[in-house]
């Protein structure tokens, strides 16, 4: 029976717990929860009570990292610019703008969360593991769902005015 190392999982900033896999039986890793252990917050990478401007600066840094490291995020931004340009050209009503902005936001947030999940999984599990792959695939699947929903919303928003323009000419 193989024994694995100990990982720290902060479930709550004030309550990190130790988890250790005890046995590897038929390719199933069984985690066992042991008593809480004191772990310094600096070890966990937690920042407490930052000034608002510093938090804002960290958020902007995250957006820059997302833009410069994630190709799919840049692709979504190009599609966003095209959709906003077409919406201006078609003179969308306010409700159409609202739906369009919410849909764009959904896709960009999903892509950002997917990237965050992938980065966290890479940090926690540098070796190839089936559960790590599954977590990454699930996050990518969420982006796919958001993208499909945005395509359907795009057909609903852009279809009727474009169809009317085609029939007029």
Domains in the chain (CATH in brackets) are 1-44 (no CATH), 63-169 (1.10.287.3610)
Report the length, in residues, of the chain: 169
Output phi, psi for 20, to 5 deg: -135, 135
Token pair in block for residue 101? 């902005």
Is the pLDDT at 143 greater than 60? The verdict is yes
Rounded to two decimals, the pTM is: 0.70
Active site residues: 111
Output phi, psi for 27, to 5 deg: 60, 25
pLDDT in tens, 144-168: 999 999 999 999 999 999 999 999 8
Distance CA 69, CA 64 (A): 8
pLDDT in tens, 55-111: 999 999 999 999 999 999 999 999 999 999 999 999 999 999 999 999 999 999 999
């Amino acid at each position: 029976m193989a024994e694995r190392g100990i990982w720290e999982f902060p479930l709550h900033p004030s309550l990190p717990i130790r988890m250790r896999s005890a046995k590897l039986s038929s390719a199933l890793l069984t985690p066992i929860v042991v008593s809480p252990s004191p772990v310094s917050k600096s070890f966990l990478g937690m920042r407490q009570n930052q000034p608002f401007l510093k938090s804002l600066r960290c958020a902007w840094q995250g957006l820059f990292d997302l833009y410069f490291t994630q190709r799919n995020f840049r692709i979504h931004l190009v599609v966003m610019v095209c959709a906003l340009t077409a919406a201006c050209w078609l003179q969308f009503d306010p409700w159409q703008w609202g739906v369009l902005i919410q849909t764009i936001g959904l896709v960009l947030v999903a892509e950002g969360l997917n990237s965050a999940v992938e980065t966290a999984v890479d940090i926690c599990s540098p070796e190839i593991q089936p559960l790590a792959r599954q977590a990454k695939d699930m996050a990518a699947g969420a982006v796919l769902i958001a993208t499909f929903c945005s395509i359907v919303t795009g057909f609903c928003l852009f279809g009727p005015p474009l169809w009317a323009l085609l029939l007029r000419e």
